[in-house]
């Protein structure tokens, strides 16, 4: 025994709501990340740049005041150039080597921000320190702020050589160290806040995305549920899906409803076609069966009965042959290649047809009226146009009966179409039947039509021809007053 192939399980389907919420969260993550990086980097750059500019401005101001001295800077005269009123304002302390150092909480120069300053004499010995800073002279090359780490502190440092404005000699040195620990604390807090906001924003984006997608896609979910329900109903049952959202989902529901209606009409048409074919074939087959049984019993010995039965059988076979041929014509029309068509002269084709019908039916008065102004060329196979017009003329002859033998064919045109009208004064068609006469095997008066003959497929063939060439076929009729069939086909608009 062979091993049956295992059925592969269908891949699990992901909810579009989850996809939407995930995509929304990912989008918000990317946007907020870019925003956070820009904010963070911009804040860092502007903060550091601002600190540099302020530090340079303050150092320049203090350097400008110190350079006014003509003598070397020392603990006894430095107060004059730092904005203090007297030397006694400054505190005095000594380093390990016994050198005197003056100190104050801040520089006395007006409009100088709170900073840490150190002033050195020409021998690089510390003589003044604001904020009681005891930093040795770092370097004479750091005239612009640079970031350094001194001990456990990190900050900007600037060192200036103080040159007297009057003598041009080096009279001392100025140094300022601006600690950046506060900046790093703010930077870390800003980074934490941005990350926290990003996480919260992602969660909110996920929640809002799911909520919005649930709200927007609920009509689509309802449409899907209705489709599944319809899929399990019998083929003959269908109820329109009503969705009133005013958007593409409503249009999708309308398209689905239209598609289901067309499917329903197609199924009904197929059922009616099978029923009509069965009905149309039942009568000739029953006639053939009756005559054959009659001949088998005793008719074959009677020459007269044999002739009648064979003739009747031949007529029934001819009817079935005509019916099958008409059905094949309808099938072939669906495979017409429109890419190889040429424009035909409707007037010439119609003139030939009317001439032939006058010869075949000499008792009928067939009039042809040509109202065409242009050359009257239409894009259609000549044999298809001739076939449609032959059916209309043949029907006009058949259904004229004893009421009237006058038939009028009129050729005219409008902006887009070549129009052919076939008028007769025959039996006419009631309004109830006019909507169905172009369906296959439909007959308005089946008893009368059986006497006249035909397969009931002629007008269906014309309808198919009109649909193939994007034209139309219509009828206007009153019972007892005849009918007017109007056949329209697109015309050639090119100038010849």
Of 136, 162, 187, at which residue does a domain stop?
187
Of 187, 203, 224, at which residue does a domain stop?
187
By C-alpha distance, which of 43, 388, 363, 348 is closest to 194?
43
91 inside domain: yes
What is residue 450's predicted lDDT score, i.e. its pLDDT?
47
429 inside domain: yes
By C-alpha distance, which of 74, 79, 122 is closest to 99?
74
Q: Quick one: 359 and 451 in the same domain?
A: yes
Q: Quick one: 268 and 361 in the same domain?
A: no
Domain of 431: which CATH number? 3.30.565.10
Domain of 99: which CATH number? 3.30.450
447 inside domain: yes
Q: Quick one: 45 and 150 in the same domain?
A: yes
What is residue 316's predicted lDDT score, i.e. its pLDDT?
72
What is residue 94's predicted lDDT score, i.e. its pLDDT?
84
Q: Quick one: 139 and 263 in the same domain?
A: no
What is residue 496's predicted lDDT score, i.e. its pLDDT?
46
Q: Quick one: 327 and 342 in the same domain?
A: no
Tell me how far the alpha carbon of residue 253 is from its chain's centroid.
16
242 inside domain: no
CA dist., res. 127 & res. 76, Å (int): 9
Of 187, 217, 233, at which residue does a domain stop?
187
Domain housing 292 = 249-333
What is residue 169's predicted lDDT score, i.e. its pLDDT?
92
Q: Quick one: 343 and 312 in the same domain?
A: no
Q: Quick one: 169 and 286 in the same domain?
A: no
1 inside domain: no
Q: Quick one: 408 and 481 in the same domain?
A: yes
Q: Quick one: 94 and 119 in the same domain?
A: yes
Domain of 285: which CATH number? 1.10.287.130
145 inside domain: yes
CA dist., res. 74 & res. 70, Å (int): 12
Q: Quick one: 382 and 342 in the same domain?
A: yes
238 inside domain: no
Q: Quick one: 344 and 370 in the same domain?
A: yes
Q: Could you say which residues of the chain have pLDDT below 50? A: 1-2, 446-451, 496
109 inside domain: yes
Decide: 357 and 397 in contact? Cβ < 8 Å.
Answer: yes
Q: Quick one: 287 and 353 in the same domain?
A: no
* 148-157 own/partner pairs: CB under 8 Å, 24+ apart: 150/177, 153/179, 153/181, 154/179, 154/180, 154/181, 154/184, 155/179, 155/180, 155/181, 156/51, 156/52, 156/55, 156/180
Count of domains in the chain? 3
Q: Can you tell me whether residue 74 is helix, strand or coil?
A: coil
pTM of the model: 0.44
């Amino acid at each position: 025994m062979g091993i049956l192939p295992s059925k592969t399980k269908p891949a699990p389907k992901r909810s579009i709501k989850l996809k939407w919420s995930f995509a929304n969260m990912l989008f918000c993550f990317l946007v907020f990340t870019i925003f956070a990086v820009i904010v963070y980097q911009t804040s860092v750059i502007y903060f550091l740049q601002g600190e540099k500019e302020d530090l340079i401005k303050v150092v320049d101001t203090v350097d400008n005041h110190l350079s006014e001295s003509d003598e070397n800077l020392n603990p006894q005269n430095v107060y004059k150039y730092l904005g203090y009123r007297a030397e006694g304002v400054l505190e005095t302390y000594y380093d390990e080597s016994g050198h005197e150092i003056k100190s104050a909480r801040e520089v006395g120069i007006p409009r100088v921000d709170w900073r840490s300053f150190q002033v050195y004499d020409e021998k690089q010995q510390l003589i003044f320190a604001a904020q009681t800073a005891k930093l040795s002279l770092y370097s004479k090359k750091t005239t612009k702020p640079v970031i350094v780490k001194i001990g456990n502190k990190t900050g900007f440092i600037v060192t200036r050589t103080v040159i007297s404005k009057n003598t041009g000699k080096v009279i001392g040195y100025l140094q300022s160290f601006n600690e950046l620990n506060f900046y790093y604390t703010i930077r870390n807090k800003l980074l934490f806040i941005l990350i926290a906001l990003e996480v919260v924003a992602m969660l909110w984006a996920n929640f809002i995305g799911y909520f919005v997608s649930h709200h927007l896609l609920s009509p689509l979910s309802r449409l899907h549920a209705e489709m599944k329900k319809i899929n399990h109903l019998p083929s003959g049952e269908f109820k329109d899906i009503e969705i009133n959202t005013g958007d593409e989902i409503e249009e999708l529901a309308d398209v689905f409803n239209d598609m289901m209606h067309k499917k329903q009409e197609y199924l009904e048409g197929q059922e009616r076609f099978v029923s009509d074919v069965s009905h149309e074939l039942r009568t000739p087959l029953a006639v053939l069966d009756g005559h054959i049984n009659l001949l088998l019993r005793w008719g074959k010995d009677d020459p007269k009965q044999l002739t009648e039965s064979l003739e009747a059988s031949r007529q029934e076979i001819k009817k079935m042959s005509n019916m099958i041929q008409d059905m094949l014509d309808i099938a072939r029309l669906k495979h017409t290649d429109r890419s190889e068509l040429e424009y035909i002269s409707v007037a010439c084709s119609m003139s030939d047809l009317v001439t032939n019908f006058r010869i075949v039916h000499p008792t009928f008065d067939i009039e042809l009226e040509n109202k065409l102004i242009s050359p009257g060329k239409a894009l259609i196979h000549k044999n298809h146009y001739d076939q449609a017009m032959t059916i209309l003329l043949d029907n006009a002859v058949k259904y004229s009966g004893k009421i009237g033998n006058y038939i009028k064919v009129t050729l005219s045109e409008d902006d887009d179409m070549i129009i052919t009208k076939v008028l007769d004064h025959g039996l006419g068609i009631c309004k109830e039947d006019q909507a169905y006469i172009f369906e296959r095997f439909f007959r308005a008066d089946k008893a009368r039509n059986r006497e006249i003959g035909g397969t009931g497929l002629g007008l269906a063939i014309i309808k198919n021809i009109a649909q193939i060439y994007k034209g139309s076929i219509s009828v206007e009729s009153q019972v007892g007053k005849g009918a007017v069939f109007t056949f329209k086909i697109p015309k050639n608009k090119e100038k010849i």
